[in-house]
Amino acid sequence: MTIRAKHLLGIENLAPDEITTILDLADQYVDLNRRQVKHSDALAGLTQINMFFENSTRTQASFEIAGKRLGADVMNMAMQASSIKKGETLIDTALTLNAMHPDILVVRHPHSGAVNLLASKVNCAVLNAGDGKHEHPTQALLDALTIRRKKGRLHRLSVAICGDIAHSRVARSNILLLGKMENRVRLVGPPTLMPSEVKELGVEVYDDMREGLKDVDVVMMLRLQRERMDGGFIPSEREYYHRYGLDAEKLSYAKDDAIVMHPGPMNRGVEIDGTIADDINRSVIQEQVEMGVAVRMAAMDLLARNLKTGSEDEQAVYA
């Protein structure tokens, strides 16, 4: 089991067979994670550094647990508090860390493309844990794994992604992944929160939620950032909830067995009704978190395998 990619920077550079490989291996790690002794030596002896230039609790914890369960030496760096404040550039930070010979860098950054830039300057495997409004590939992969396990397949499904699409890297990665796996993707949200000419990405766009949810298999809700609620993009929080908040009535337009997803953290009563989020028959939000650890284990494992096979070439270069 291998993938060709050296880094995981986005879904854009992954081929459908690579996506399937990651999900297949992740399935195995789901089983491992449900045992009492959750340990593998896949990353034993390797060093994983989590560099988060933007606050994150859930994603960082998920990557940390994933690395530790695979036996890696995991280090967390809160980049906001460190050298960036002293004026060091992203590339210098990357080169400094690179000199410490990490094997896996997990990076989150507030600017789109920053992780790609960093990856071009280091010689270890880089995982994008979210860059600006660009991509968040492991989130899309964990969403895909959740859907595949719940629906039994990851093709010919109708998926509605709802809410603040414009500012969402989760939406971009999901649009790309679901498209590559041949699903129908609908985007639902107010036009002010829709990226321009998004239709060209091969999706259907709805500004009416009921129409958008009609007969879909999967409802994917997105978080609405607080700073977007103050009249700049939408008139108010309560009007947004009225028109785009997921409640039982709007959900009734979807298929009877449609599942409800949310990347978290949720704003109950803004984009999603609390009772829907807690409905164990519809909501798979907790499963998504579980799948997150397994997918990140699979992704890091597969990238590490390329690290080992690539090392001979590297030695030739440095000889």
Partner 1 sequence: MKTLLTNARLIDPEAGTETTGSLLIEDGIITAVGSEADPHGADKQIDCQGKCLAPGIIDIGVKIGEPGERHKESYRTAGLAAAAGGVTTMVTRPDTTPAMDTPEALSFANRRASEVAPVNVLQMAALTKGRDGREMVEMGFMKDAGAVGFTDCDHVIRDPKVFSRALTYARSLNALVMAHPQEPDLSKGAAVTSGKFASLRGLPGVSPMAERMGLERDLALVEMSKARYHADCLSTSAALPALKRAKEAGLDVTAGTSIHHLTLNEFDVDDYRTFFKLKPPLRSEDDRKAMIAAVASGLIDTLSSFHTPQDEESKRLPYEEAASGAVGLETLLPAAMRLYHSGDLTLPQLWRAMSLAPARRLGLAAGRLTAGAPADLVLFDPDAPFVMDRFRLRSKSKNTPYDGARMQGKVLMSFVAGQPVFQKD
Residue 173, number of CB atoms within 10 A of its CB: 26
161 binds partner 1 (CB under 8 A): no
Give the DSSP H or E segment for 148. Answer: helix 137-151
Least Cα distance to 250 among 282, 224, 225 occurs for: 282
DSSP, res 84: G
Number of residues engaging partner 1 in binding (CB under 8 A): 24
201 makes contact with partner 1 (CB under 8 A): yes
90/254 with CB nearer partner 1: 90
Q: Which of 31, 41, 197, 227 binds partner 1 (CB under 8 A)?
A: 197
**C-alpha–C-alpha distance, residues 285 and 187, integer Å:** 19
Calpha distance 119→10 (Å, rounded): 12
Is 113 an interacting residue with respect to partner 1 (CB under 8 A)? yes
| Cα separation, 319 vs 107, whole angstroms | 30
228 binds partner 1 (CB under 8 A): no
Should residue 98 be labelled a site residue for partner 1 when binding is judged by CB under 8 A? no
Question: Is 228 part of any known ligand binding site?
Answer: no
At 221, phi and psi to the nearest 5? -95, 150
Q: What is the DSSP code (8-state) at residue 284? A: -
Out of 7, 108, 169, 186, which residue is the one contacting partner 1 (CB under 8 A)? Answer: 169
Maximum separation of any 2 CA atoms in the chain, in Å: 67
262 labelled ligand-binding: no
Report if residue 132 touches partner 1, rule: CB under 8 A. yes
Q: Which of 225, 9, 263 is nearest to 115 (CA)?
A: 9
133 interacts with partner 1 by CB under 8 A: yes
User: Given the complex with partner 1, which of 119 and 298 has the nearer CB atom?
Assistant: 119
Determine if 95 is a binding residue for partner 1 (CB under 8 A): no
Q: Is 62 exposed, middle or buried (0-12, 13-18, 19+ CB in 10 A)?
A: buried
Contact range with partner 1 by CB under 8 A, out of 145-153, 198-206, 229-237, 298-306: 198-206
Residue 309 within binding range of partner 1, rule CB under 8 A: no
**106 and 136 Cβ atoms separated by less than 8 Å:** no
Q: Does 112 bind partner 1 (CB under 8 A)?
A: yes
Q: Which stretch binds partner 1 (CB under 8 A): 86-94, 95-103, 207-215, 265-273?
A: 86-94
Q: Which residues bind partner 1 (CB under 8 A)?
A: 12, 89-91, 109, 111-114, 116-117, 131-135, 169, 172, 195-198, 200-201
* Binding site residue list for carbamoyl phosphate: 58-59, 108, 136, 139, 264-265
